Amino acid sequence: MTEELLIKNAVVYDPINGVRGERKDICIRDGKIVASVRNPKVIDAGGRVVMPGGVDVHAHIAGGKVNSGRLMRPEDGRKGREPKTKVCRAQSGYSVPNTFTTGYRYAKMGYTFVMEPAMPPLLARHTHEELIDTPILDNAALPLIDNNWMTFDYVKSGDIDLLAAYIAWMIKATKGYGVKIVNPGGTEAWGWGKNCDLHDPVPTFDITPADIVKALALANEKFAMPHSIHVHTNMLGHPGNFETTLATLDLVKGIKSVKNRPVLHCTHTQFHSYGGTSWKDFESKANAIANYVNNNNHVSIDIGQIILGDTTTMTADGPMEYSLYQITGRKWTNCDVELETGSGITPFLYSGKVGVHTIQWTIGQELALLIKDPWKLALTTDHPNAGPFIGYPIVISTLMSKKRRDEIAKEVSPAIYDKSSLPSIDRELDFYEVAIITRGATAKILGLQEHGKGHLGLGADADIAIYDLSPEERDAGKIQRAFLNTKYTIKGGQVVVKDGEVVAAPAGKTFFVTPECDQKLMDEMLVNLKQKFENYYSVTYNNYAVQDVYLPHPYEIKAPMVA
């Protein structure tokens, strides 16, 4: 029996297909968008705003780091509790919700795909086990290949082909999606309690973070990878770090991708757009970063917008989290991962009364409003670092409403008026641009538009969000409420949310990439890799790779080697 569904009277915003608020019907059969249907169940969208299912390029939702955050914060778990229902498991948590709640809350916001951006390779199995228990959302994870000793070997020898072979092996071993780089070199230095800026040599390995980023960008483009390297630049959170960010973006300027996409994605850029020399003269440098992005086409960014309130910061940038703990004195967890990467976790309160936090809060919005082309831009809060993903509707309402921004400006620190340009920006995004930065651009940045995501063209996955909004709605409060709880969310042709209630919780698919590397190259690399396991790893080579049983609903993307 084929499952047919017809959505009538939808006002569709589908930027990948250039559909800008057209009143249309959407036909669905067997979970896909089709041209016509014969005997469908019918949903009358009643002229409401309809978009493809949301795609989030960067949210820490699954894995060792996130779970350490949950475990260490029962006081966060105690918030947001909901009893189990016939459909839903028991829910808990605000900034570090349990996995079921993550699936339900994203679905209620109309999201259907989330990228876990930081999977420590040695702990990859943990990330996949949590993705299995994250309902509804299709997903993928990016293994961290930034501070790996194998990466250092080939960056030092300059052998990009062998580095490409290592990347191919690592992405297959971890069932990953692409190359994630966090504080390259710095987290290895943190193994001795130290750190590195872009051109500082990594202790003992004496290569620089700049060398690492460049080499990995080149190696990544040796395959037809759907996504570019995903980079958290050095010196996150340090006043004056905008120069490090610009220098990092410039490193890869000449590199081309066979996949006609940028070659570097700069993530949670807000944390990397700081001016001044200390917290006293701290100021926004969003305009400098925005100018660079406007004048170059080899870079995409996601904003990492602050949500005022308490949250849990967690990143592979061990040294940064330690410095945050030293400022707040709150609890602090660290986990260096042998030969590969690290992580740090500490709670943080972003307060509108504090000047620095207020400027941080403006920077994310400045980036979104100063960067002219929304296709280079993704909306994130680096969940939960700058704030929980449940805050996305707030960000959407402030980007769409100058009036809302001015109201908030009056309630926060006056530093907003002399250290940031947000009050002077009048631009308001419309539904079309919002659809770009939350599904269109985000799907393209990840290379998922070729795999049925982020749009409603024929053959696309029937992932659809129907918001209880008329296209003319301009009231920030109504917009915020509507983007928090959809009228309907449809995942793979199945209604999963109705009137803000989860009515079904099917399992999501895990997307992973198989880079097809030349076998001779691979064998040469494996000699070096097996030596590392023999001498330095605490697990054996044969027990390392993630077994297929950890992906009950796999979706494979092959990435052939580029000639």
Partner 1 sequence: MQTITLRLKDAVMSGIAKVPVAVDALTPDKLVGKSVEQIKAVQVWWGNSQEKAGNLFEITVEGAAASANEVKLLFEGKLNRVKYIGSGMKAGEIEARGDVDMHCGAEMEGGRVVVKGNANCWAGREMRGGELVIEGDAADNLCAMYRGEMKGMTGGKVTVYGDTGECVAQYMAGGELLIKGNVDILCGLSMSGGKITIEGNATLPGADMIGGEIIVKGKMLEMMPSFKFIETATIDGAAYKKYLGDFAMGEKKAKGTIYVR
Partner 2 sequence: MAEVTDVVCSLCGCVCDDIVVEVENNAVTKVKRGACSVGKAKLLGHHRIKAPMMRVNGELKEISYDDAIKKAAEILAHARRPLLYGWSSTVCEADRVGVELAEYLGGVVDNTATVCHGPSVLAIQDVGLPSCTLGQIKNRADIIIYWGSNPTAAHANHMKRYSYISKGFWTAEGKKDKKMVVVDVRETKTSKMADVFVQVKPGGDYPVFSALRAILRGQAEIIPDEVGGVPKAKLLEVAEMMKKAKFGIIFFGMGVTHSRGRQNNIVNAIQLTRAAHLYGKWSIMPMRGHYNVTGFNQVCTWQTGFPYSVDFSRGYAWYNPGETSSTDLLARGEADAALIIASDPGAHFPGEALRHLAKIPTVMIDPFPNPTMEFADVVIPVAISGIECEGGVYRMDNVPLRLRKVIDTDYYIPDEKIVERIFDEVRAIKAKEGGV
Question: In the stretch 326-345, what mask flags binding to partner 1 with x, by CB under 8 A?
Answer: ---xxx--------------
| 351-360 per-residue burial string, b: 16 or more CB within 10 A, e: under 16 | bbebbbbbbb
Q: With beta carbons less than 8 A apart as the criterion, state whether 93 and 79 touch.
A: yes
Nearer Cβ to partner 2 (539/562)? 539
Find the shortest distance in angstroms from Cβ 75 to partner 1. 4
Please count the other Cβ atoms lying within 10 Å of the Cβ belonging to residue 31.
Answer: 16
Nearer Cβ to partner 2 (129/428)? 129
**Does the protein bind partner 2 through residue 73 (CB under 8 A)?**
yes
Q: Which residue is listed with tokens 């420590």? A: 120
d(CA 335, CA 207): 23
Q: What are phi and psi of 105, to 5 degrees?
A: -65, -40
Which partner from the list partner 2, partner 1, none does 516 bind, CB cut-off 5 to 8 Å by kind? Answer: none
- The stretch near partner 2 (CB under 8 A) out of 26-34, 127-135, 153-161, 445-453 is 127-135
- The stretch near partner 2 (CB under 8 A) out of 30-38, 70-78, 426-434, 455-463 is 70-78
Find the shortest distance in angstroms from Cβ 71 to partner 2. 5
d(CA 216, CA 179): 8
- The stretch near partner 1 (CB under 8 A) out of 18-26, 69-77, 148-156, 280-288 is 69-77
Nearest to 508 by CA among 549, 459, 458, 463: 463
Find the shortest distance in angstroms from Cβ 77 to partner 1. 8
- The stretch near partner 2 (CB under 8 A) out of 186-194, 222-230, 275-283, 551-559 is 186-194
**Does the protein bind partner 2 through residue 88 (CB under 8 A)?**
no
Nearer Cβ to partner 2 (375/541)? 541
Q: Which of 58, 65, 73, 126 binds partner 1 (CB under 8 A)?
A: 73
Q: With beta carbons less than 8 A apart as the criterion, state whether 284 and 419 touch.
A: yes
- The stretch near partner 2 (CB under 8 A) out of 104-112, 324-332, 378-386, 492-500 is 324-332
Token pair listed for 152: 């250092």
Token pair listed for 5: 């569904």
List the interface residues with partner 2, window 105-124 (CB under 8 A): 122-123
**Does the protein bind partner 2 through residue 385 (CB under 8 A)?**
no
- The stretch near partner 1 (CB under 8 A) out of 22-30, 68-76, 447-455, 520-528 is 68-76
d(CA 321, CA 534): 32
**Does the protein bind partner 1 through residue 76 (CB under 8 A)?**
yes
Q: How far is CA 263 from each of CA 126, 140, 214, 220, rounded to the nearest angstrom? A: 29, 19, 10, 9
Q: Taking the CA of residue 441 as centre, how many other CA atoms within 13 Å lie in the half-sphere pointing to its CB?
A: 24
d(CA 196, CA 181): 14
Q: Which residue is listed with tokens 């475990």? A: 71
**Does the protein bind partner 2 through residue 91 (CB under 8 A)?**
yes
Which partner from the list partner 1, partner 2, none does 183 bind, CB cut-off 5 to 8 Å by kind? Answer: none
Number of residues that bind partner 2 (CB under 8 A): 63
Q: Which of 22, 36, 41, 78 binds partner 1 (CB under 8 A)?
A: 78
Find the shortest distance in angstroms from Cβ 261 to partner 2. 32
**Does the protein bind partner 1 through residue 79 (CB under 8 A)?**
no
Question: In the stretch 347-386, what mask flags binding to partner 1 with x, by CB under 8 A?
Answer: ----------------------------------------
Radius of gyration of the chain (CA): 22
Number of residues that bind partner 1 (CB under 8 A): 9
Q: Which of 27, 33, 37, 62 binds partner 2 (CB under 8 A)?
A: 62
d(CA 161, CA 473): 53
Find the shortest distance in angstroms from Cβ 126 to partner 2. 5
d(CA 184, CA 342): 11
Q: Which of 16, 27, 45, 72 binds partner 1 (CB under 8 A)?
A: 72
d(CA 322, CA 332): 7
Q: Which of 15, 40, 54, 64 binds partner 2 (CB under 8 A)?
A: 64
Which residues, other chains included, contact 370 with Cβ-Cβ below 8 Å and sequence gap of 6+? 286, 287, 290, 291, 294, 421, 425
Which residues, other chains included, contact 21 with Cβ-Cβ below 8 Å and sequence gap of 6+? 11, 12, 13, 49, 431, 432, 471
d(CA 411, CA 275): 24
d(CA 426, CA 431): 16
Summarize as ranges the residues that interact with partner 2 (CB under 8 A): 62, 64, 66-68, 70-74, 77-78, 81-84, 89-93, 96-101, 122-123, 125-126, 129-130, 133, 190-193, 204, 322, 325, 331-339, 342, 345-346, 535-540, 542-543, 547, 550
Summarize as ranges the residues that interact with partner 1 (CB under 8 A): 72-76, 78, 329-331
